A and B are shown apart, each in its own frame.
Chain A
Amino acid sequence: MDLSAILISMGGMGGIGLIFATGLAIANKKLHVEEDPRIAQINDVLPGANCGGCGFAGCMNFAENVVKGNAPLNGCPVGGVGTANEIAKILGVEVEAGEPLKARVLCQGGLNEMAIKGEYLGLKSCVAAHISGGAMKLCEWGCLGFGDCVSACMFDAIYMNENRLPVVIEDKCVGCGKCAEACPRNIIEMHPISHRVFVKCRNQDAGKYSRLVCTRACIGCGICVREAGENMMYLENGLAHFNYEKWGNKADLPTQKCPNHVLVSLDEEGTT
């Protein structure tokens, strides 16, 4: 092996590479495909790691599917909040389209309200607690209080208060529904922003028992249904429900009539 061998191999490989590079460059121009410029823009703000964490084959594929509407804006777990916001900026109009959804926590049973049945020493996760018979709270329908929803939220729009109940920060909530998916007890529901009144309980036990487990439980007494008038509300499985289609923006809600203060109007309280 003398010096010429090295030079020849360098020259040979470099030459082959150059020829192919030129060919590809020409082909790229000739075979250029016009596509939505937003795909390239979104691809630029993505991390570019092609990790597949979003469930698509690489960042480019994710960008295409975001533009098509098959993928959520915040589908990139690596980029997180920042990337999702930038994608939202690029897509601009589409984010505003339709009535925005907000996550609503339909349980008021914090540590202070709920009856305690014992100590829970297991994994500090709602899913684990739910599978293993439900943490320390007696209510089998209510919030477990370990904050699976908080960790699911990629926009820091939800936190646990000192009463161990999740609180949604309405301004930050983008309505992705990740928290609602994460909650093993389906306490969090996605509601259009025009829904202002809620039955903040999911307890379907008989009234006598539900009164026992939580001071803020819906006991299915039906007072609200009678007060609200025909078809505005209804009882189902011992739980009051709103007929949101009929309700419209009606504001005079029989909140004060509810014995356990389960009915909550956002406009009255100003909280979520």
Chain B
Amino acid sequence: MNLIVIFISAAIVNNFVLSQFLGICPFVGVSKRLDSAVSMGMAVTFVMTITAVVTWLIYHLLLVPYNLEILQYVSFILVIASLVQLVEMFIRKVSKPLYDSLGIFLPLITTNCAILGLALISVLRNYSFMESLIYSIGAGAGFTLALVIMAGIREELELADVPKQFQGAAITMIIAGSLALAFMGFAGLI
């Protein structure tokens, strides 16, 4: 039960993008087309899940026993950077068009605060191994959800008659704000 609560909380109620405002960069950058938004969500979810597992192991098996908690930032970033490299190579091998459409935002997952934030929050809340795994999957699902909703809206927006002053970045910001407002509605769910 606890695990389900953690999942729902990470995915919807405390959605990383729309409630905690982490990972805004790809949220705005890669939400122009639905298919690339889905793949970006997948890539981030993958990195998040593996990061959560590996950082949990590093933190609890290496850093805590030797009182080296101060090194958590360095070691977490190390893990994230390596994983992103791996994902980048993999996507490039499997699908070159996808690699091109993600562009600079793929290597930028390294500096995506959602992922480092996830690892640090897991430590902060003292999650067990299972809990932090579920938490990371939930966070990834929430990130993908936010990206997909945004991309869906922006694809529709291409056909909409937006006033000239609001075209481009402005309307994107307004929509992101409205989405965040909408997600506030989930606050009472848990």
Contact = CB atoms under 8 A, between A and B. Distances in A.
Question: B interface, how many residues as a size bin?
Answer: 20 to 34
Given A12-B68, A13-B78, A17-B78, A58 B90 contact: no
B11 to A, nearest CB: 29
Contacts of A17: 78
A48 to B, nearest CB: 16
Nearest to A12: B62
B92 to A, nearest CB: 6
Given A16-B58, A21-B82, 15 more contacts: A5-B67, A5-B68, A8-B66, A12-B66, A12-B75, A13-B74, A16-B62, A16-B75, A24-B82, A24-B86, A27-B89, A27-B90, A31-B89, A33-B93, A33-B96
Contacts of A9: 66, 68, 71
Given A8-B66, A13-B71, A31-B93, A23 B58 contact: no
Contact of B104 (A24, A33, A58): A58
B85 interface: yes
Contacts of B74: 13
A108 B75 CA distance: 68
A161 interface: no
A5 B62 CA distance: 12
B97 interface: no
14 contacts: A5-B68, A8-B66, A8-B68, A12-B62, A12-B63, A13-B74, A13-B75, A16-B62, A16-B75, A16-B78, A20-B82, A24-B82, A24-B86, A33-B93
Given A31-B89, A31-B90, A31-B93, A20 B78 contact: yes
| Chain B contact residues: helix, strand, loop or mixed | helix
Interface string A16-43: 1100110110011001110000000000
B6 interface: no
A57 interface: yes
B154 to A, nearest CB: 21
B82, B90, B104: residue with the most chain A Cβ atoms closer than 10 Å: B82
A171 B92 CA distance: 42
Contacts of B103: 57, 61
B64 to A, nearest CB: 12
B79 interface: yes
A9 B86 CA distance: 25
B41 to A, nearest CB: 21
Contacts of A13: 71, 74-75, 78
Nearest to A19: B82
Interface string B65-104: 0111001001100110010011001101100100000011
